Amino acid sequence: MARFIVLEGGEGAGKSTQASLLAASLSAVLTREPGGTAVGEALRRLVLDNSSGHLVDRAETLLMLAARAQHVAEVIEPALARGQDVVCDRYSGSTFAYQGFGRGLPMGDLLCLDEWASGGRRPDVVILLDLAVADGRRRRPCGPRDRFEHEEDEFLERVRAGFNELAAADPVRWRVVDAATSIEDVAAAVLRAVGDVAP
Ligand code: TYD
């Protein structure tokens, strides 16, 4: 049976690099949120682009969830049904950490909305790549910053603490990996963390 594996973490934790290394090792479908479909990528541009101006927190949340609904239906469920593992760069954990702990929206509402948008599809395992906010900022490549990369450190600290709280609350599904070491060491730790997971 195929596994649905999610990588989560704050800015600059190296999720995208690790998600592609993991997907290559498992011959899994590699995808990301927000994104992963034509509609999802259009929503991603809208929600990350600074030129969208100020998005109210509820609109930001609903755009993330619209992308998720499309992504689950168009990419994730069909791949799992074909028997292929799926590696996804961010999923519901990001909504709880950023919109819940970061923006302060009520967690009960987010849980219901996420359940509805995702059709109840939950990851078999979530790997949290944990990194100090200052280290994440240092790793960020030069160039234009998206809406979330403009956030204050206090926001990113709430997101980091939120991710760790989510992991602590569900230790069977979540595994925390220290993202401060080398790409190779983190990749090995991620593979170990996924190793014994059954769907
Ligand atoms: P991404 O490129 O995945 O982040 P990074 O550059 O850190 O790897 O950008 C996606 C941004 O969207 C990221 O800042 C987190 C945010 N996000 C939410 O706020 N809520 C969500 O539900 C998701 C999926 C992402």
Q: Give CA angle at 122 (127, 12), nearest 5°.
A: 30
For the entire predicted model, the pTM comes to 0.96
* CA atoms of 131 and 4, how far apart (whole Å): 23
Q: Residues 137-190: pLDDT tens digits?
A: 998 877 888 888 888 999 999 999 999 999 999 999 999 999 999 999 999 999
For residue 11, the ligand 1 atom closest to its alpha carbon is: 7
Cβ-count burial of 99 within 10 angstroms (0-12 exposed, 13-18 middle, 19+ buried)? buried
Q: Is 33 in the pocket of ligand 1 (CB under 6 A)?
A: yes
90 alpha carbon – ligand 1 mean position (Å)? 7
- Single-letter amino acid code for the residue at 130: D
Which residues have a Cβ under 8 Å from the Cβ of 10 and sit 6 or more positions away? 131, 133, 136, 156, 159, 160, 163
Task: State in Å: Cα 4 to ligand 1 middle.
Answer: 19
Determine the distance separating the centroid of ligand 1 and the alpha carbon of 33, expressed in angstroms. Answer: 7
- Check pocket membership of 155 for ligand 1, CB cut-off 6 A: no
